[in-house]
Structure 1
């Protein structure tokens, strides 16, 4: 019975159109809040409910070909740096891996809405794109230097009224993308991440 319930939750995340009635209460744990607040929210969330031993990192797997990861971190996204408050969450990230159906930007954005509700979804949709990659020069250089990963990575940084957002998929030249992520971050961490992405 427990296995069937888990499979049903994973289908809601991976295989079926998202049903937004799963989590309609007000979001009360986001970057900027304490690790305890966020851990309690994760534990009570009907989709994220972690297994024993999981607190800020939740892993779900329907099969080896389909995986979902949610992680809240006290670190800014990108290259790890020192500083900050070790008791305050700075980034929350959703990672999808799906060999069967693939991962698209639309699917990642729908996962954002499923986890956080309408308010964050609308903030993302209204957010201004501050950086998008790759550009044509990067693609040409990646092809000339045989760097398929640099060519495959496609993403955007967005600045909303409430938060900043990072969305990225790895789209190979042939086939479809099977992995991607979407992250919510503090607006104050956006410049650092943009600089790192522009220079990687």
Structure 2
């Protein structure tokens, strides 16, 4: 029993972390379908055997990439809720984070939308992982909107997600400063609706 508990908390092997970090960078900057396993192996400086020991297929690595990006956002919101007493400030902090991301050098759009766009079948495991992320995200925003007393928290969450998606798309293909400003305006309108 003690051995099982120890193995449950063992950190991942450094080579596994390196493979995922390499894939994360390449998948995001160049596109999932354009980056092959051999390219990841070479860039991560690991052997093919090491790659397949940790990830039995490219699809499993792609899912790990999507789940890693999902985990980052979950951790951000958990931390924001722990630090900030007011759910309005949590929403504002998230809006700032999205805006910073959308205006940074090297920004290539939303990694979840980008991943979904490369897998047409909604039943594909990558699409399932993206859908799970978006469902969780919508539920979390709805809970925050409910906490601030928004009269229609579900609709407000949908509006926020649409504004977020628009800001991330606009940040990549349009004027990132204007997209960020529009996201902030949309957020403040939604927050004001809770006070009306």
Look at both structures and tell me which one has the larger radius of gyration over its CA atoms: 2
TM-score scaled to structure 2, two decimals? Answer: 0.25
Name whichever structure is richer in helix by fraction: 2
TM-score scaled to structure 1, two decimals? Answer: 0.25
Name whichever structure is richer in strand by fraction: 1
